[in-house]
Amino acid sequence: MANTAQESSGCAATGGRVCLPALLRSFWAWSAVVFGLTLAVAWVQYRAGYPRARWDPLAAWFLDLNEYLGTYKLLHTSAFFFNVPGVPLPYPLYSPVAYPPFSAVVMAPLYASSNPGAVFLILSALWLAVCIWGVRRALIGVGIDGVIATMFPLTIVAMSFPIARLVHQGNIELVLWIFATVGVWAFLRGRDDAAAVLWGLAAAMKLFPVVLLLLLLPRRRVRAFVLGVGTFVAATVLSLWWLGPTMEIAWRGSLQNVFGYQGVRVSEWSFRELVANHSVMTLVKLAAKLTGVPLASLTLPYYVCGALVLGLAFWRLGKMPVANQLLAVSVFMVMFPPVSYFHALVHLYAPLLVLLLVAIRAERAGVQVRGLKGTVLLFVPLFASWTLLTVPRMLVFAGLVQAVLLVVIFVCTVKYPFEVDRAESGVPSAG
């Protein structure tokens, strides 16, 4: 049946290797179409005289990285966390670090180098090379032709706006992405303790990756779960000690800067937030604006509702395939934080790869997995630039569009089990 499905889809075996199944080819083709449309729209807007920030979201390099150039000259002092009266700033660029303590520690080696931008680019290139190699190896492992297995991840990375935005901004999300993704790799191979440690480090960098530890509970890996939580706590405490000048000052400063930044962004209603912030909070703020509810009153109810949604969803997800659990937790991790910009979407590539591998197995088995095709294709617009997804005259903004897409993907993940064994008892594939 597998050979029949491949031949009828124009994907017959050649030299023992086969080309991509139909769903992967569709995802690849539509990604190229969206990328081409983005370039075309950017060109039209450029020729029409639009401001560069409107059509070119990659207009200035290393905005996030450069923000703390001056701040790290004040490392291990109170001025690293607070604007201290009478203390002259040694560098014109100064902004308190709006990240948890472990992130501040992870960033320190970058700023200790003579060229932080070059170090960041080298690290990015190495990590992307590892990702491309890993996907290539996974595709070859399931019988895909070597050339196709190389070109697929290479071109997807080249056309991916979240990846481009992450590297271009010089955002520390890169290191968090490494921890989280290598943790997923370990988890899928049954190395739960290693996964827990890596996810604990990721959580110490930005808090919300702590939800990844929930993936250990359906397996009843209580020890690994506790290890992950312990890693999170230990990384935070040791970071406070190292940042100094005292743990008390570092703790107060970190709390003030992290939650102060969150508070400012939650209360903000601007073009930047509408086009760049794909958080569900953006949809909530839209509803609040339409009903006259003050934005400052949204935070506590939002967190309570989010916790309830995740709890109810995971009660069902605990009985579903690992692909569903991984995708649901990853989507929640990037859509629920009140501030979640384009580069955070990179955390969805690992669960997307798992879905694509399910699609390969399904086509070879000659069955359909309900909801899989629609869910995978939703990632195409999700990974597009705001240049394409923003039409202010029609009240269409990229952040709102992507927030809706994330909610739909989350619902599909909770509703449809993405597993070939279950699909085999259902409707046979037309192929």
For residue range 238-284, list pLDDT tens digits in order: 999 999 899 999 999 998 888 777 777 777 788 888 989 999 999 99
Best-predicted range by mean pLDDT (74-83, 208-217, 262-271, 418-427): 208-217
User: Per-residue pLDDT for 2 more than 60?
Assistant: no
The C-alpha atoms of residue 79 and residue 422 are separated, in whole angstroms, by: 58
The C-alpha atoms of residue 75 and residue 62 are separated, in whole angstroms, by: 20
The C-alpha atoms of residue 157 and residue 35 are separated, in whole angstroms, by: 11
Mean pLDDT of the chain: 88
SS3 14: strand
* Rounded-to-5 percentages of helix, strand, coil across the chain: 70, 0, 25
Task: Please compute the mean of the pLDDT values over residues 279-290 and round it to a whole number.
Answer: 91
The C-alpha atoms of residue 243 and residue 236 are separated, in whole angstroms, by: 10
pLDDT of residue 8: 38
Task: Please compute the mean of the pLDDT values over residues 307-317 and round it to a whole number.
Answer: 91
Best-predicted range by mean pLDDT (12-21, 72-81, 225-234): 225-234
Q: Which of 226-240, 273-287, 373-387 has the lowest mean pLDDT?
A: 273-287
pLDDT of residue 426: 41
For 350, what's the count of Cα atoms within 13 Å in the CB-facing half-sphere? Answer: 26
User: Per-residue pLDDT for 148 more than 50?
Assistant: yes
Q: Which of 64-73, 189-198, 235-244 has the lowest mean pLDDT?
A: 64-73
Q: Which of 229, 244, 236, 227 is nearest to 81 (CA)?
A: 244
User: Per-residue pLDDT for 93 more than 60?
Assistant: no
Torsion, Cα 74 79 80 82, to 10 degrees, reads -160
pLDDT of residue 94: 64
User: Per-residue pLDDT for 422 more than 70?
Assistant: no
User: Could you read off the pLDDT of 168-179 as tens digits, one per residue?
Assistant: 999 999 999 999
